Amino acid sequence: MRRTSWTLAAAAAVSMVGTAAAEPRQVQFAGCVYRGTEGGCLMVRSGTRVYDISTAKPRPNVGRAIAGSGWTFAGPTTCMEGTRLVKIRWHYTRRLCPLRKPEAS
């Protein structure tokens, strides 16, 4: 019985590894704003990463280039792509954006 208790406790401990919510971290981004797959979602591709900037206030215009920073958010979202950012600070840049959504790399 005692061995079974230790085995169960060890299994529970192993299964909990990696399940803690990711710590928020501040990230920098720069890229062109485009509409996400889900309605109302705004995305920006910055290098190889895609960020969900739907919480940005005010919301940047689709098709314009922006740069800024935000904090990662690990909770559930309605947008099914990219890393959700919160506490977003952004500004327009002089970069020209293509007329269509950027392709996945």
pLDDT for 22 equals 77
All domains of the chain in start order, with CATH: 22-105 (2.40.50)
How far apart are the C-alpha atoms of 54 and 41, rounded to whole Å? 5
The candidate with the shortest Cα–Cα distance to 46, out of 92, 82, 71, is 82
The tens-digit pLDDT sequence of the chain (105 residues) is 455 554 544 444 444 444 456 799 999 999 999 999 999 999 999 999 999 999 999 999 999 999 999 999 988 889 989 999 999 999 999 999 987 665 655
Q: In 3D, which of 41, 48, 77 has the Cα closest to residue 62? A: 41
The DSSP letter of residue 61 is: P
**pTM score of the predicted model:** 0.74
Model pLDDT, residue 105: 54
